[in-house]
Structure 1
């Protein structure tokens, strides 16, 4: 990625010995199929040099106990003095940066479409268009089942694809790596403050500023599946809303705990009854699904 190239330049300018350290790490990692451990390089590197490569994010956690070099081709170009810094980042760096934090064009289009669909909650023609279109598919379902069963079924379907999208579009290992790095920097900053090492405090503050870019990348990664979830869920909600507004008499009422008999559009604990019933069904089914499929959407410690 472009940031890795800049970090390599910073390291080699601060400590010329880091150039040799990087060359050794690159050579040993390629000899080992892309992975390198401390035991592979301890004959050439000091523990401080190894730690600096990890702190700067040039080495990232790989499979098992080993590490992998981020953008090895880009690192080699910087070391060879042919990194294209005057004309922009290299192709491999740009691609790696997109993989780390960026959204694809399709992600951005999905986000714009989801924002446009939000207008349906306030703009009648949009709501009628989306609701009427989906009614051609969901209308027969509504005729066969009571409205509470329709909401339950839709909540199960939306919970299923929401869980699968989060599992496939979120890299929990990378997010865990971001969090671990921030915690490690915070611990070192605290230790430096306690021992009164002002030089170390200044140096670690610079690392914290660099790490802010990684935090932004983690936020983008967390939000990426949400745009696809909203793109599919908002039309479902619009159809339910349209159905409640246009078919209130036909939908009847429902008996809810602590509330009793209530019509679907009426308030139930602040929310309309149909929204409250949807959330209860969706949250319950989603938790069961994650347990059953052993899907974890929380950052995994690196």
Structure 2
């Protein structure tokens, strides 16, 4: 049984539960099983998938036995939610702090519409950024903020992105697609029915994948939103020094910070996004981070091998 097949099964909560039932009723792999032994707890699609993936193999007496009971039992135990930090959410990779962070993002988002929240956040930011704004021109302050948030965003995205989960999910979807096409070609209606059931289960995993993708964004927005709110407060509140009231943008020329540049977008937003994009590209290059999730060292080792 391939290791990646077992990992794919364990990533699916329903299949993980089916595996637990099979391990328990086979007395941890010491006894043979037949469909009638588990049909009260497993669907026919789950039973068929365990056979297809090599978890269950033919036994001499006509039943099925676990192919590698020790490894399966060990993997199941390691996936036991009670074995990891006591989290009540077995399928969630979010810690308590992640959830508090998400709540903080919701509060900060209110600053885009609520002047009280915006002024409170900007006032706190100004304790640190106010001194910087008095020492250098405002366009340079935006460059510093863009570089700082760009570096932070790049590092957090690289550290918190669950690349393995995303890759396993994509591999599973590709596997289901290829198996479905093969079953159609040979006219195997039973296999098609099982694969369709697996596809429905895989769609249920989309929520876990979405949470894994959004998790880095929570910690990124906890820093970028306050910076953005401070810049908005600075520009729209008339707090920019008279000598820094304009900026020279590429292909546009000299414009005021609140002048519309691209459609309704004012110059200060365009300038920040340009600087932030450049900062992220430089950070990814110098830190050896691939946006797709592969580090430079990983790429080099793959190439050398």
- TM-score interval (norm. to shorter): 0.7 to 0.9
Cα separation, 1, equivalents of 2:285 and 2:30 = 48
Change (3 A) 1:183 1:97: farther
Change (3 A) 1:194 1:93: farther
Cα separation, 2, equivalents of 1:70 and 1:160 = 42
What's the CA shift for 1:293?
Answer: 1.2
The TM-score normalised by the length of structure 2 is: 0.71
Structure 2 gaps, min length 5: 1-9, 33-49, 57-65, 295-305
Equivalent position of 2:270 in the other structure: 276
- Is the contact between residue 81 and residue 90 of structure 2 (CA under 8 Å) also seen in structure 1? no
Does 1:291 pair with 2:285? yes
Deviations 1:143-179 (A, max 9, x none): 1111111111100100111111111111212311111
Deviations 1:10-55 (A, max 9, x none): 7679x97x94699xxxxxxxxxxxxxxxxxxxxxxxxx9583449x
Does 1:72 pair with 2:63? no
Cα separation, 2, equivalents of 1:207 and 1:244 = 54
Task: Report the 3-state secondary structure (helix = DSSP H, G, I; strand = E; otherwise coil) of the residue aligned with 1:268.
Answer: strand
Cα separation, 1, equivalents of 2:206 and 2:218 = 19
Equivalent position of 1:133 in the other structure: 124
Structure 1 gaps, min length 5: 23-47, 60-67, 77-88
Equivalent position of 2:110 in the other structure: 119
Count of equivalent residues: 252
Cα separation, 2, equivalents of 1:70 and 1:257 = 61
Cα separation, 2, equivalents of 1:220 and 1:120 = 24
Cα separation, 2, equivalents of 1:152 and 1:190 = 52
- Is the contact between residue 150 and residue 277 of structure 2 (CA under 8 Å) also seen in structure 1? yes
Does 1:266 pair with 2:281? no
- 1:1-302 pair list within 5 angstroms: 3-9=14-20, 19=29, 49=51, 51-53=53-55, 69=72, 72-74=75-77, 91-92=82-83, 101-246=92-237, 247-248=239-240, 250=242, 251-270=244-263, 271-298=265-292
What's the CA shift for 1:198?
Answer: 0.7
Cα separation, 2, equivalents of 1:254 and 1:98 = 50
Equivalent position of 1:26 in the other structure: none
Cα separation, 1, equivalents of 2:156 and 2:181 = 38
Deviations 1:194-226 (A, max 9, x none): 222110000111111222233321211110010
Change (3 A) 1:252 1:90: closer
The TM-score normalised by the length of structure 1 is: 0.72
Change (3 A) 1:101 1:193: farther
Deviations 1:237-276 (A, max 9, x none): 0100000022256331112122222100111112111111
What's the CA shift for 1:70?
Answer: 8.2
- Is the contact between residue 4 and residue 75 of structure 1 (CA under 8 Å) also seen in structure 2? no
Cα separation, 2, equivalents of 1:147 and 1:70 = 61
Structure 1, 241-250 or 116-125: larger mean CA deviation: 241-250
Change (3 A) 1:242 1:275: same
CA RMSD of aligned residues (A): 3.6
Task: Report the 3-state secondary structure (helix = DSSP H, G, I; strand = E; otherwise coil) of the residue aligned with 1:102.
Answer: coil
